[in-house]
Amino acid sequence: METFPVRTRRHTQFVDITREIESAAAAMGLRHGVLTVFVPHTTAGITINENADPSVTADMAAALDRAVPWQAGYTHSEGNAAAHLKASMMGSSVQVVVEDGRLMLGTWQAVYLCEFDGPRTREVWVMAAPGR
């Protein structure tokens, strides 16, 4: 397993971590298999989406804010219930196929850490399951 930190700078932020995942795969010597990318935090998530147009992640953040507003009468005592809900909606992990040492992402895809309670320093875990 490989781990790496991600420093977020805003309350809500989508950080492209694809290169760090590629580096983790190389460090593990994974040529063929599947990577699981996991974030061990309850107010951050992981997703795969478009990386060509930054308005996509801006639209995702705006849609999540409309669906789960920061202030909505939540009872969670820490005051960050919306961040917990958004993280659960995005999920805590993704899997990426690796073939010939390359992440098999689509042309416009990237892996994003989704920050919903920043700024913070987050940790990402990458685990390899070798294939053939």
- Residue linked to tokens 């639209």: 59
Q: What average pLDDT does this structure show over 28-41?
A: 97
- The residues pairing with 88 across neighbouring beta strands, listed in sequence order, are none
Q: What average pLDDT does this structure show over 74-102?
A: 96
Cα distance between residue 14 and residue 116, in whole Å: 9
The answer to whether 112 and 15 are in contact (CB under 8 A) is yes
The domains found in the chain, sorted by start residue, are 2-130 (2.60.120.460)
Q: What percent of the chain lies above the pLDDT cut of 90?
A: 93
Q: What average pLDDT does this structure show over 16-44?
A: 97
- The overall pTM is greater than 0.85: yes
Cα distance between residue 58 and residue 64, in whole Å: 10
Which distant-in-sequence residues (6+ apart) come within 8 Å of 62 by Cβ?
none
What confidence category does residue 7 fall into, taking pLDDT thresholds of 50, 70 and 90? very high
Q: What average pLDDT does this structure show over 87-101?
A: 97
Q: Which of helix, strand or coil describes residue 11?
A: coil
